[in-house]
Amino acid sequence: MTTPALEAQGISKRWPRTGAVLEDCSLRVERRTVHALIGSSGSGKSTLLRCLALLDPPDSGSIRVDGVLAAGEGAVAADPNLRRSIGVVFQEPSLFTHLTALANVALAPHRVLGLDPGDAHERARRALDRVHALHLGDRHPEALSGGERQRVAMARALAMEPTVLLCDEPTSALDPMLTREVMAVLRDLALDAGTTMVVVSHDMEFVTAAADSFDFLHAGRIRISGSVDRLGTRGVDDELDRFLQRS
Amino acid sequence: MLRALAPLLVLAATLVAAADDGLSRVRSTKVMRWGCDVSGGAPFAFPDPSDPDRVIGFEVEIAEELARRLGGRAERFSADWLALIDALEADRCDVLINGFEVTAERKRVVSFSTPYFRYAQQLVVRSEDRDRFTSLADLTGRPIAVLNGSASIESLDAAGVPPSLIVQYDDSLAPFTETILGRVDACLQESFISRFFAGHDPRLALVDATFDPGVYAVVVRKGDAALLNELNAALAGMQADGTLGRILQRWGLWDDAQPALGTQRGPVVATIPEAQGTPPEDGLPWTLVLWSLARAATMTALLTVVSMPIATLAGLLLAIAILHGPKPLSRICHAYVLVTRGTPLLVQIFLLYYSLPALGAWLGIPELLTWNKVVVGIVCLAANYAAYEAEIHRAALQAIPRSQWDAARALGFTRWQTLRFIVVPQSWRLSLPAIINDLNSLIKDSSLVSMIGVQELLAVALGIGKASFAVPSMLVAAAAFYLVLSLLADWFGQSLERRARAVRALPEPIHR
């Protein structure tokens, strides 16, 4: 069996005040596949994603990136080398307001990877092109629409050429028009054979069309997982049926 | 405010280890550093109204003659009058020659030479009150204006006037102005000062009877016996050969009281025009005056231009240390901000200027800790404003959303890289308007360093104003210069803001 791009074992996370949000979650994301995390609001999807992104440490359990232990007992705390191999697109684009779109994308390749400005820009242009935003390069974040910002944020993550790209409901803050625009880009990325992605999404149409596998979270636990084909058949799980009915 | 400083200054004085023997220092350097306050007014040591860069006065001439007789030249040290004794203790100068009355209280702290001038206290009233107030007794229950720290206070005290009726002012001219304006009913000063300022003013009248005579003498550090002996010998020579008598005559200060000190009059000399105590007839020499102010304004600008960038940068480092530094460092920096913001800038200037050399002497490294007054001024302004800027930076740094940190962390930026390339460039834009606001207020706060004798805009304007009986117009002129500096600061601030708003298209290129 090949080493998975991302593997989580028994992740639990509780917040001091609100209590448990994740309990014993395990998942496995194979290379060059798209994995969807689905579930209703408050089911723990975003928390799981933040753990996978190494932004919040899990209370227990372990995370391996490309087979290397990144979180859990015995892991080097917050190793930047490992973190940069995981790209993240958040619900809010969070672009750096003092830089143009191109510089937003080129900053990390230049400062973190140490590429010289010419190479960093070349990489940034390629990444912008992948999200159909090359023409926005010299714009300021203030001069971009919500959808354009989110596309630039995707390019910013892609420019680091991460092992795996995590997307946390990148359309949740957008209106339907802009949602379509961003979903189209996300779909292109997902269908691109080389990409390994974990996507948190409500959009079942997108999930069935673009994802290979899924985990269904309910109340902090992974209830059902497997190939997206399973989403076509009802009656496997009541909660999943209820969720699919609502969305 | 200065009264509140007294305990600190005493502390400073007690910290002083025995300074170098003054005489050997004067002999080896061939310089006698003498302290005075040039804004104290005529006829002691004051800016020449017709050439404000030159300091003239009868004590300037006495100092020069004494220095010559000690085998060197005189080098003037200026500071606020109330700070002069501390300056002497801190070895900023060798002697003080500035109307220091010999009093028992002062004798406990410093040594006095034989006297060089004898005076008495003289009351001045409004001319319409000439017949109403003919003695101190007539003024019972009425406020009387005096010069801050002068012997007139002790005279009134001894005469039973309650402290609440003794109104103190920072310069010798103000008590007369206050009398004219009717805020007080009389003022009491040394007789010749009363003659100098009030003798020619039709609105004022001198009360004939003088009382409580006293003497002025040169002040040296306690225990500086060798220097004191030499000074006494030189003074005796000046008294005997008529040199002192000549100086006093030139300045219109000669009277029947002087021979009692053993001073010979010498040949009769006419009083010079500068000693007449009247406003210059053709008004102020404005070209020269404005030139002096312009140069003083460059000092103000220098203090601001050097200290504000230091304050801004130091404030940023403090704020970063407070928010992101290890706990002990964060606590220390926070305490620094609290203490610095919580104490007056004036106290900080005094402590650094007078107590640091004392500490240096105590530690055996006096040269290392005895800084030039401009340096002390810049360090104090920068250190004080750094505390305020730290709070501005802190607010701006905290205003950068958490999501920016997350985004940077996800891209692999370290904490310091995130601060440097992402957070600070954005917080800087937020903090800039408040920093420019502080820049404006620093321009005006910089006048506080005149307390240690830095000749900045306000000090020079006041000095010229007092010497030329033109304080209000000089203050207006100084205000105009301040306004120009402030407008320049605003213009600079606006261009900085424009630049900060402009988006950086590219990461900074790496030069290879």
Nearest CA in chain A to B509: A117
Q: What is the ipTM of this complex?
A: 0.91
pLDDT for the residue numbered B504: 55
Rounded Cα distance between A148 and A11, Å, is 34
Q: How confident is the model at residue B172 (pLDDT cuts 50, 70, 90)?
A: confident
All residues of chain B having their beta carbon less than 8 Å from the beta carbon of residue A100 are 503-505
Rounded Cα distance between B263 and B255, Å, is 11
Tell me the CATH architecture of domain A1-85+165-247: 3-Layer(aba) Sandwich (3.40)
Residue B283 predicted with pLDDT over 80: no
Question: What sections of B90-242 are H helices per DSSP?
Answer: 104-107, 151-158, 174-181, 191-198, 225-240
Q: Is B423 exposed, middle or buried (0-12, 13-18, 19+ CB in 10 A)?
A: buried
Asked if A97's CB is within 8 angstroms of B505's CB, the reply is no
In chain B, where the domains are located: 2-116+216-275, 119-213, 286-501
Residue B241 DSSP one-character state: T
Q: Is B406 on the interface with A (CB under 8 A)?
A: yes
Please write the tens of the pLDDT for every residue from B114-160: 999 999 999 999 999 999 999 999 999 999 999 888 889 989 999 99
Alpha carbon A176 to its chain's center: 20
Q: What is the mean pLDDT of chain B?
A: 88
The string of DSSP codes covering B337-370 is HHHHHHS-HHHHHHIIIIIHHHHHHHHT-HHHH-
**Checking DSSP bridges between strand A60-65 and strand A6-15, what pairing results, if any?**
antiparallel
Task: Look at the alpha carbons of B192, B197, B199, B200 in this order and tell me if their dihedral is positive or negative.
Answer: positive
What is the CATH number assigned to the segment(s) B286-501?
A: 1.10.3720.10
Of the candidates B406, B417, B503, the beta carbon closest to that of A98 is on B503
pLDDT for the residue numbered A104: 95
Of the candidates B401, B413, B425, the beta carbon closest to that of A98 is on B425
Q: What are phi and psi of B400, to 5 degrees?
A: -75, 125
Q: What is the largest CA-CA distance in chain B?
A: 92
Q: What are phi and psi of B133, to 5 degrees?
A: -115, 105
pLDDT for the residue numbered B193: 87
What is the CATH number assigned to the segment(s) B119-213?
A: 3.40.190.10
Residue A83's closest CA among A95, A93, A68? A68
CA angle A27, A35, A76 (to 5 degrees): 50
Q: Is A107 on the interface with B (CB under 8 A)?
A: yes
All residues of chain B having their beta carbon less than 8 Å from the beta carbon of residue A121 are 506
A45-62 average pLDDT score:
89
Residue B89 predicted with pLDDT over 90: no
Which tokens is B438 given? 């502080």
Considering A38-42, B213-217, B368-372, the range whose residues carry the highest mean pLDDT is B213-217
Q: How confident is the model at residue B506 (pLDDT cuts 50, 70, 90)?
A: very low
Which tokens is B387 given? 């505390």
Asked if A103's CB is within 8 angstroms of B411's CB, the reply is no
Rounded Cα distance between B231 and A215, Å, is 98
Which tokens is B12 given? 């400073």
pLDDT for the residue numbered B18: 43
Residue B60 predicted with pLDDT over 50: yes
In chain A, where the domains are located: 1-85+165-247, 96-161
- CB atoms under 10 Å from CB of A174, counted, come to 21
Domains B119-213 and B286-501 are alike in CATH topology: no
Rounded Cα distance between B415 and B320, Å, is 11
Rounded Cα distance between A157 and A149, Å, is 13
What residue type is assigned to position B87 of the chain?
A
The string of DSSP codes covering B399-444 is HS-HHHHHHHHHTT--HHHIIIIIIHHHHHHHHHHHHHHHHHHHHH
Please write the tens of the pLDDT for every residue from A121-180: 999 999 999 888 999 999 989 899 888 999 999 999 999 999 899 999 887 777 777 788
Asked if B507's CB is within 8 angstroms of A98's CB, the reply is no
Pick the CATH number of B2-116+216-275 from 3.40.50.2300, 3.30.43.10, 3.20.10.10, 3.40.190.10: 3.40.190.10
Please write the tens of the pLDDT for every residue from B426-443: 999 999 999 999 999 999
Nearest CA in chain B to A107: B507
Which tokens is B492 given? 């600079």
